[in-house]
Amino acid sequence: MTTKNFGLPEEGPLPLFLKRERTTDGKTILVVTVASLPELMRSSHYQRLAIATAALEFSRRKLIDEISDALYGFEGRMVWPDGRPFELPDIDDAFGRDGSFRWLSDFIRFAERPPHQLPQRRVIARLRIIDLYFRIEHPERARLIAE
């Protein structure tokens, strides 16, 4: 593979959100499908994403740095569930240019207590970015999040 292995077998089944694709020059890349709006709106998905994020034990700034490095450094393709190319938004913009990233602390609290309401639409881009990070860097965890 030309991209990093992600702890996945070279052959065999991949999570539903990942597939291998041959490029015109014969290289194998990974194609990752971003989470759909219905997936991100499920309270179970939301809480599992918070649990997985809390388990990383990064500071808020370090978490954003890790996510940025993983997503901007990804050598495969990112697509919407319908196959259209996904254009990665500016991560700082998606998180509201809040340099303290306080929203992450509030989000991680949902690891211990379930949210009382569905995620607000204004945070969907943030959730999609965090979910995409897990799909790329920790696909086995992402598979559990998506159950």
pLDDT the model gives residue 4: 52
- The residues spanned by each domain of the chain are 37-72+89-145
User: What residues pair up with 30 in beta bridges, in sequence order?
Assistant: 20
Q: What is the pLDDT of residues 56-93, one digit of tens each?
A: 989 888 999 999 999 999 999 999 999 999 999 999 88
Give the pLDDT confidence score for residue 82 in this predicted structure: 96
Residue 139 belongs to what H/E stretch? helix 139-145
The whole model's pTM is what?
0.88
> What's residue 100's pLDDT?
67
Residues 101 and 58 sit within 8 Å (Cβ to Cβ): no
- pLDDT for position 61: 87
Q: What is the pLDDT of residue 122?
A: 83
Per-residue pLDDT, 8? 60
Q: What is the pLDDT of residue 50?
A: 94
Which residue ranges of the chain lie beneath pLDDT 70?
1-12, 99-100
Q: Say what the pLDDT of residue 3 is.
A: 42
The C-alpha atoms of residue 15 and residue 28 are separated, in whole angstroms, by 17
